[in-house]
Amino acid sequence: MSIRHEQKEQRRALILQSALDLFIRKGYGETKVADIAKAADMSMGLLFHYFDSKEKLYEELIRIGCERLKMDFNFMNESPLAIFTAAAEDLFDMIRTNPSAAKMFVLMENAQHLDSLSEDLKEMLTEADKLIKKSISLIEKGQLLGEIKQGNAEALAVAFWCSIQGIAQYIALHPETPCPNSMWVISILENREVE
C-alpha cells in the first residue's frame, strides 16, 4: 500500500471516528458537517472529497455497525449456549479493545428512532434488528437440550441482547467503566437447574 493511499485511509478513518463521536453526543440532526470537519481538523472541502454529504457519512457508519453486529447462527456442531457464549465474548472483547465499538451500539440504537432516514438505511437497521428474532429458534433448541433455561424464548432473547446493548451504551458514555465478565450475561440464558 502506498503512503498516499495509507494517508487517505487514515483521514477517512478520522472522519468516521469524529462523526461517530459527534453523532452520539449531539445527535444526527444537531451535528453539522462543519462540526465534523472541525473535529477531524480538516476543511469542509476535504471532508466532501471523502463523503458527498452528512447522510452518506452517517450511512457508512450504519453500514459498518451492521457489519460488526452480523452474527452467524448456523453452527451445525455447536451447542446453542456455546454460540451465545462466543457471541457475548466476541462483543465484550470488541468493546474492551476498541473504544468506538461501544459507541457504535449507541449510534445504532439512536438511528432506529430517526424518521428522516433513507429507505436504504431503514432496511439496513431492520436487518440488524433481526438479531433477536434469529435468536429465538436457537434458544428454543437450547431449551430442548436442557442447556438454556425454560421460559419465553423471545423474552430471553430480548433480555440477553438488550443487556449487552445497555452495557455497551453505558461504557460508551463512561469509557473508564470496566467491561463485565461475559458469563454474567450468559447467566441470563444458562439453565443451572440440576435434573
Predicted TM-score of the model (pTM): 0.82
Most trustworthy range by pLDDT among 10-24, 72-86, 103-117:
10-24
Q: Is the pLDDT of residue 32 over 80?
A: yes
Q: Is the pLDDT of residue 109 over 90?
A: no
Banded pLDDT at 76 (limits 50, 70, 90): low
What distance in Å separates the CA atoms of residue 86 and residue 167, rounded to the nearest whole number? 17
Helix 99-111 to helix 3-26 angle, to the nearest 10 degrees?
Answer: 50
Question: CA-CA-CA-CA torsion for 160, 17, 107, 190, nearest 10 degrees?
Answer: 0
Instruction: Please write the tens of the pLDDT for every residue from 148-181.
Output: 999 999 999 999 999 999 999 999 989 999 999 9
Residue-level pLDDT at 190: 96
Kindly state the percentage of the chain with pLDDT values over 70. 92
